[in-house]
C-alpha cells in the first residue's frame, strides 16, 4: 500500500555553530533511498544568515540544484512546497554562504520513501 511509504518522517539536526566560516555545513540528510520526499528546514541564527539548500548527486561531489535563503537574526522556517524526487543516494544539505559572527543551527525534516 503506497500509504505505508509515508508513515513517519525523520529529523536531522545540524550542530549548533558559533562564529562559523563561510562554506560551513549546517545540516545534511545523508544518502537517501530513491523516491519522492517532502522537506522542511527549521532553525535559528543570532545574526543575518545566508545559506544554500543544495540537492547533491549520489557521490556528494556536485550540486544538481540549489536555492539561496537569507534570513535576519531570529527563526528560519522553510517548507519545500512539493515533493522532490531523489535518485538513489542523493541528499539535501544546507551550506553557509559567508561567515557570520554569532550562533546558527538548522535542522532538516524529511518525509518520504526513505523514512522508517
Query: Any idea where the domains of the chain sit in the sequence?
Result: 2-112
| The three grid cell numbers given for residue 49, joined into one nine-digit string | 544568515
Q: How many CB atoms lie within 10 A of CB 110?
A: 23
**What CATH number does the domain located at 2-112 have?**
2.60.120.20
All residues at 6 or more sequence positions from 103 whose CB lies less than 8 Å from its CB, including other chains: 16, 17, 18, 44, 45, 46
Give me the tens of pLDDT residue by residue for the chain, a chain 116 residues long: 233 334 578 889 999 999 999 999 999 999 999 999 999 999 999 999 999 999 999 999 999 999 999 999 999 999 998 999 999 999 999 999 999 999 999 999 998 864 54
Non-local (6+) Cβ contacts of 15 within 8 A are 105
Predicted TM-score of the model (pTM): 0.88
As a whole number of angstroms, the distance between CA 89 and CA 104 comes to 27
Amino acid at each position: 500500500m503506497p500509504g505505508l511509504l509515508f508513515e513517519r518522517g525523520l529529523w536531522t539536526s545540524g550542530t549548533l555553530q558559533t562564529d562559523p566560516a563561510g562554506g560551513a555545513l549546517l545540516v545534511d540528510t545523508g544518502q537517501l533511498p530513491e523516491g519522492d520526499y517532502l522537506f522542511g528546514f527549521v532553525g535559528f541564527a543570532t545574526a543575518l544568515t545566508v545559506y544554500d539548500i543544495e540537492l547533491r548527486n549520489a557521490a556528494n561531489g556536485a550540486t544538481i540544484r540549489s536555492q539561496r535563503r537569507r534570513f535576519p537574526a531570529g527563526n528560519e522556517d522553510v517548507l519545500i512546497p512539493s515533493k522532490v524526487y531523489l535518485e538513489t543516494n542523493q541528499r539535501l544539505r544546507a551550506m553557509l554562504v559567508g561567515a557570520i559572527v554569532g550562533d546558527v543551527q538548522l535542522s532538516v525534516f524529511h518525509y518520504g520513501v526513505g523514512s522508517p
